[in-house]
Amino acid sequence: MPPPPPAANSAPVRWGILGAAAIADERVVPAMAASPLCEVVAVAARDAARARAFADRHAIPRAFARWEALLADPEVEAIYNPLPNHLHREWTIRAAEAGKHVLCEKPLALTTGEIDAMIAARARTGVEIEEALMCRDHPQWTAALALLAAGRIGDLRGQQASFCYMNRNPGDIRNRPETGGGGLRDIGSYAIAMTRLAFAAEPVAVMAHLERDPDFTTDRQAAMILAFPGGRLATLYAATQVQRYERLHLFGEAGWLALEAPYVQPPEHVCRLLVGQGAYPSVAPTEVIEIPPANHYRAMAERFSRRVRGARGAGAEARPLEWSRGTVAVTEALIASAESGRWETPAGACTAVG
């Protein structure tokens, strides 16, 4: 089925929300509601009361008790899919085959094979499908990448990333192995993706150690090493049972760059890029660049909506599934390394290290 034609090139994209997940309720739908490019017209949940309550909170006109009903709604042009990880592939493909464009929460899939199926569905249907990696749409990343491209810290040689939170809720899908839970897939995916973006390369080998919760059996600590071409290295740490923290350090031959909140930024938060070049003590930046508050969920939804309307170029950049596939390939290799105790090569990467 072809995607529904837009009412007009400047008309807001009509969105449907596939599931009443907390991320949709608290972050994404309010961001869409604040944008003239988006109109949330429907929501579906498998519990009718939950769907209706979600719709009432956000003044959404239609609430469905079946996900299939949302996909059949002719007024819906695009789907936001925040379902549990193990359902991303099936319902993203079903939405595409119903003619809907799809913005799917991260991690996009559990395996590279699942993403290959999404790529095939995109080719069959002609719709837009992307991973909802909202941090990539924050202006602090535009600024950080520009600093790297300008050689501000010289040749980028290494990265250190940390992302942590506290969650011991046994009912949370992130703590359930059968739904694709665990810290590596949840918050580790941010660090993996943005490390790849900063290096503008794919790792050639990876190694990991996963420490698992004895009750949940999901990983609650992940220590990772990613080796990139040219001897470049990244060390990443993701944890789900320590206090909230995130930070990214990028080390160059002529200086260093730090992002204080590289992944999840409150919309009212002023982001700071810290630049250091040989100062003592070495932790003291020589320059602090402030990035004004921005809602990266809104920026993501607007950029995707522009693409749905046929725009291309600045403000409507593509985030191809093929690029998101790289994050899942690295994740698969890290899981394999934790089991084998050896360096592993992500699917599709070259085999040379260094």
* Active site residue ranges: 106
- In sequence order, which residues have a C-beta less than 8 Å from that of residue 20 and are 6 or more positions away? 43, 45, 47, 50, 51, 53, 54
Tokens 């350090």 appear where? 249
- Distance between CA atoms of 37 and 302, rounded to whole angstroms? 6
Pairing of strands 255-259, 241-252: antiparallel
∠ Cα 282 283 289 (to 5°): 115
Q: Would you list the DSSP string of 27-67?
A: IIHHHHHT-TTEEEEEEE-SSHHHHHHHHHHHT-SEEESSH
Closest among 64, 138, 69 to 98, alpha carbons compared: 69
Helix and strand numbers (H, E) in the chain are 11, 14
- Distance between CA atoms of 18 and 95, rounded to whole angstroms? 9
**Contact (Cβ atoms closer than 8 angstroms) between residue 308 and residue 35:** no
Strand-by-strand arrangement of the 129-132 sheet: 62-64, 38-44, 13-18, 78-81, 101-105, 129-132
Residue 253: CA atoms inside 13 Å, Cβ hemisphere, count?
Answer: 5
Pairing of strands 78-81, 101-105: parallel
CA dihedral of residues 147, 150, 155, 157 (deg, nearest 10):
20
